[in-house]
Structure 1
Amino acid sequence: MAKVKYYYDQETLSYQKVERRKRKIFGNVALFIFSSCLVGFLLYLYAGKVYDSPELRSAKRDKKFVEMQMESMEEEIAQLTAVIEEVEERDNSIYRIYFDANPITEEQRQAGFGGVNRYKNYEGYSNSDKVIALKESIDKLKKRTAIQSKSLDEIAVLAKDKEKLLASIPAIQPVRNQDLTRMASGYGYRTDPFNKTRKFHYGMDFTAPRGTPVFASGDGVVERADANSAGYGNHIRIDHGYGYVSLYAHLRQRNPYNVKVGQKVKRGDIIGYVGSTGRSQAPHLHYEVFKDNERINPINFYYGSLTPEEFNELLKKSQQENISLD
């Protein structure tokens, strides 16, 4: 029970009862509550500057982790960009030039992305600019990689075709040096052995004993193996592809062929044997090379079997104007 308080009234010279006003009480209570809230708020602000809440600490940690990952991604993108630039340089300056392919222009490799804003979903965040820049770098890198991958696929096809071409070109001497008696006649004007007139000789004559092996000078398919061409006697023609055809004439009478029409042969395979059939005065191999149906000098196609010294000696002999054997 609340205590009753009194005070002494000097005017009436008597004790009077103290009356407590409810409004004053309410005001005091309100003032106390307001003061308490104000002090608490000020303490909260002060504590917030000194101590982080668990949620705030977690958010700051996550933000720092994201920033670290973004920095790491920037470094990786820079490294990958350097690698792709080196591959592009090799592709343009070595591979594509070697295989007669046009280089890919810088505009094609560095082309951007037109049209709508593809990075709209990344806008409106605290790190939007950085995220968009990273995403754009990644997209460009992916495009450059795709272009380079397609280029290397093309180079692989060209390389395979180039390897096939190099294997197909008639590039070796059809009779081995150790089997030769002599190089009788070369490509150019020579004296015809039958009518003694000066006549153009479209091949090279290799003098060798009957039965000496004759080798395919390049990969190809046997196009002919017969004696149905005037003057050549028993002869073989090999289609090497790419416009090249080689001809081997005056093969021996008996069992002249070691191949048949339609057969695939490799450079160095034995295809027949030296003889003296057709328009021939002595055992030898008459050898011709065609490019796009035009006869060309076979001397230019022996880089696959002769040393520089042997080639120079053969060249010297082939240029002598003498009497041919056919």
Structure 2
Amino acid sequence: MEMALTFNDVTLSPISHQNNLWIRAVELAHALGYAQENSVSRIYRSNSNEFTPDMTQVIEIFDGADSALSTKARIFSLRGCHLVAMFARTPVAKAFRRWVLDVLDKLDAEQHAALSSPTPDDFTSPLSLTPSSVADRKPLRALVGSWAQVSGLPFAACWNQLKAAFQLTSIRDLPQEWIPDALAWVQARIDALPKALPPQPERLPLYRNGAFHLPPANNPAHKPGPQEEALMALWKEWGSRTRELEQLFNSLSRDLDACRGKTFAYAISDLGRHADTAFSTDAMLEGLHASQDTACDLFRQALHSMSRQLLLSLNVAVAMGR
């Protein structure tokens, strides 16, 4: 199916994929008013746990007459475009969200009209979505409750995220046919949560013979070895030490922002005076903040990895009696 969509004089060329319309990330960035084509991809990477496979995918696109030439590109369904616009902070993002919803309503109406068209073999009413009941939504409510419990989020906040993902004003508007997709979406949120470390040193588990057990330290007769004592002491102060590192990292990041401000502004001004350049102000700022976000993510991942290593080392020391 070939067609064009227009938003604010920006023409979008949807791709027909899996019987739905999808928009290239490059075109979506243009429509949202971003100067850089990778802005939408950066939004996705920062919020990837909010997206489902029916919202965004990476596919091979064959351009030109030579079908052997292809490029990989990220595409977004109209539902995915709406979610990207929820995170966008450009002046046209709000208008774009309304426009996407209007397009979805129009497509739904056209599909409903097509299904309603009588044929010689018609003997039943047109297909339609079935409203869900409280009983239908009971498994979904239970799974959302589990999500709230393991994530530490309020139950209402989890509900609101679910409703936003499926563009629902009320959970009562969720059709029966969408409940399996909603269950899968919530389960994906649960699976994406980081595995929590034991909150208390005295409850530190020991992995032995295929199962976790409480360490012998809970046994009054147990005498810890020197390595176990040293590791346990480090574990007890691990929380405060990591918080100090996070505070130091955040302080260094703020100092960097303060020191580079005037220099960065001068560099942009100097580029503008001497030559036309692809490095626009928006481009340089976006690249700068993207690298800073990446540094923050890597720093937190490193702290998490070190915590896991300490936990494993302590378990080994207990198991070996060292």
Q: The TM-score by the shorter chain falls in which range?
A: under 0.3
Question: Highest CA radius of gyration, 1 or 2?
Answer: 1
Normalized per residue, which structure has more strand?
1
How does the TM-score come out when normalised to structure 2? 0.25
Normalized per residue, which structure has more helix?
2
If asked which structure has higher relative contact order (CA below 8 Å, sep 6+), I would say: 1
